[in-house]
Amino acid sequence: MNLTSTDYLNILPLLLVGAGILISLTVEMYSKKSVGFLSWFSFLLHLLVAYYSLYTVNNVSSVFGGMMGTGGTVNIFYFIFNFGAAIVALLSMDYIKKAEIYFGEYYILLQSAVLGMMLMASATDLVMVFIGLELMSICFYVLAGFQRKNVRSNEASLKYFLLGSFTTGFIVYGMALIYGASGSLNIQSIFSMLSAESTPILFYVGTLLFIIGFCFKIAAFPFHMWVPDVYQGAPTSVTAMMSTIGKAAAFSALLLIMLPLIGSKNPQTFTPLFTVLSAASMIFGSIVALAQTDIKRMLAYSSIAHAGYMLIGLAAANDTGASGIVFYLAAYAFMNLGAFGIVSLIEGNGDTEGTIESYAGLSDRNPLLAGLLALFMFTLSGLPPFAGFFGKYYVFIASLEAGNVWIAVLGALSSAISAYFYLRIIVVMYFRKSDVASDNIITESHTSLLGIVISAILVIMMGLTPGSIVRLINSF
Amino acid sequence: MSLETILFYFFASICAVTSVLVVVRREPVFSALFLVLNFASLAGIYVTLYAQFIAVVQVIVYAGAIMVLFLFVIMLLRPEKEKSIFSGNPTLQKLSIGVGVLVFFQLIYIIIAGTISSGKSVAAEQRIRTGEVEFIGRELITNYLLPFESIAFLLLAATIGALVISKKKFE
């Protein structure tokens, strides 16, 4: 297997992140005070890779003998992961001091998780999907339990690890059945099977298990049990990463399986399954989020509901749906990163500091943060001028094109329900005077603020020019 | 009946019986020892499938190293309470039996109804060669180069993670 110089240029994002991990490891080993350097190094590395992947987005090719693809949607996913990780690095700089996890390993694991996501998004072979998934998940298990002295963090890590390994079993079993049915692990040749006259039932069972496993990773309804506890217990900067780019990575693997179906003769094979999953996730997430008093738990349930909206795009099984999901993932990543960034600034060290009540009177104490959080809440609820609205718009349109009207109606209904709990936070911030929570000190952090402002700018920009972004995604 | 078929049924029946015994034995040490037997019979099945290397790895890694670790953990933790996990919760017991039976019949149905692709017919010498270390090594650094290199990063991340969770000094 010989790689030409063009191939090397195409896989440069992976090489850069890989080299970055090794450099960080060496620096961390030989220097006692490396954390400050590593944080800026991770930020610049991921920013550079994000820029490079968008710059070379047109270089569509297949390398390593059909093991992975480059360019096109793959590079757009690279951009989402790396830009998200750069923002996470900014948000972490002061937060990990406050959370008492000021260690260099934090950034090494962060970079490794991103490498896993990139491998998963670029895979065209089931072996690579599995390795990428494991690399990402193992880093997340450890990062979730980084606050070793905190019981909740330990609980989050253990719960995530046990349930995560259990579902990895589902995914591997599914892959084994797919291999048994088709005799290949390459996704293109697996799906050329589908155009044959009769598809063996083993193939459907295998794909079903594969989908169930990834529904756990994206936090869709019947497989969501871990989400609230893990999101609440993990350090907030880690939650921000898991809930945004981690979800995007799991969706990239699902898209990988579903994209070859779009061109096939029976594209709507899995539509009933995805429709039920998406309806259940939307309704469950929105209704249970209404009852939450802790902001991290509320965002966790809202994350379940958002997984439901994105699944509408998969249920539609057309090109509009696919590009809608990618747009939605990018929009969701940046708005949720911003929201969790603000949460990480406001929360204290105790267990009771994350309640929604502690946001009372925030508009008086810190008008800038209150304004930014209001903006993120508006866009999460899907109000028009921001990115969140267009994400929902494209998946709903895709579902109407596919003739699946009622799920779009259900989605709109669920958005209306969810508007209540997003707007409640704005009401608490602006119209309620703080009584007990006034001693809740807001952390001063310029880097976190920078990360939050970048997210806000992206959310507004994606809301102003959604068409050109979707056209870019659609052109591949 | 050829020797291969006889050997397959021999190992497969040991494998099935021991896996049931692993679950129903009340003493954790007995369960662990039946698991060793289960792994060893699986290795036997691998040999009949011309996967000698996998069989050796199965014996060394699973039946050897991992089971020793299991026994040490059982010895150190002495899980007395876990013996009665179901007695306090009969609903859980019924539920797990129900799910188990469901999955079992589902698998039976798939095996009977499903048509497994016959695969490519390969000559016996070729099949023997594919199980050898040399062949696997060559595949790993040619066709499977990318997964091979990525696994290196996976192991690195896992090592760092294990050290952070278990050894890191918190001041």
- The distance of B146 to chain A (nearest Cα, Å) reads 7
Task: Write the pLDDT tens digit of every residue in B70-119.
Answer: 888 888 887 766 656 666 677 888 888 888 898 888 878 877 776 555 55
| Residue A116, domain member (yes or no) | no
To the nearest whole Å, the CA of A177 is away from the closest chain B CA by 10
Burial of A272 (0-12, 13-18, 19+ CB in 10 A): exposed
Residue among B110, B120, B145 whose CB faces A1 most closely: B145
All residues of chain A having their beta carbon less than 8 Å from the beta carbon of residue B144 are 67, 127
* pTM: predicted TM-score of the whole model, two decimal places: 0.90
| Cβ-defined contacts of B31-38 (< 8 Å, 24+) | B32/B67, B32/B70, B32/B71, B32/B74, B35/B67, B35/B70, B36/B63, B36/B67, B38/B14
Residue A455 lies in a domain: yes
pLDDT of A436 strictly over 60: no
* Residue B133 pLDDT level (bands cut at 50, 70, 90): confident
CB distance A142–B114 less than 8 Å?
A: no
For chain A, what is the mean pLDDT?
A: 86
Q: Is the ipTM of this complex over 0.90?
A: no
Residues of chain A contacting residue B54, judged by C-beta atoms under 8 Å apart: none
Reported as a single tens digit per residue, the pLDDT across A388-420 is 888 888 889 988 888 888 888 998 899 989 888
Predicted local distance difference test score (pLDDT) of residue A171: 93
The answer to whether the CB of A329 falls within 8 A of the CB of A80 is yes
Domain with A466 in it: 270-476
Name residue A125's beta-bridge partners.
A186
Count other C-beta atoms under 10 Å from residue A359's C-beta: 28
CA distance linking residue A102 with residue A94, whole number of Å: 9
Q: Mean pLDDT, chain B, as a whole number?
A: 83
pLDDT of residue A130: 94
In a domain, A11, yes or no: no
CA angle A447, A452, A455 (to 5 degrees): 130
A-interface mutation test, from B122, B144, B154, most A Cβ less than 10 A away: B154
Number of domains in chain A: 1
**pLDDT at site B2:** 83
- Per residue in B146-155, pLDDT (tens digit) is 999 999 999 9
Establish if A277 belongs to a structural domain: yes
Min mean pLDDT across A66-70, A231-235, B85-89, B119-123 is at B119-123
User: Is residue A437 situated within a structural domain?
Assistant: yes
Residue A350 lies in a domain: yes
Question: What's the CATH number of domain B1-80, 1.10.340.70, 3.30.420.10, 1.20.1560.10, 1.20.120.1200?
Answer: 1.20.120.1200
Q: Residue A51 domain-assigned?
A: no
Domain ranges (residues) in chain B:
1-80, 133-171
Instruction: Quickly state the pLDDT bin for B169 (edges 50, 70, 90).
Output: low
CA-wise closest residue to A388 among A365, A358, A419: A419
CA atoms within 13 A on the CB side of A101: 27
Q: Is A105 part of any domain?
A: no
Percent of chain A having pLDDT more than 70? 95
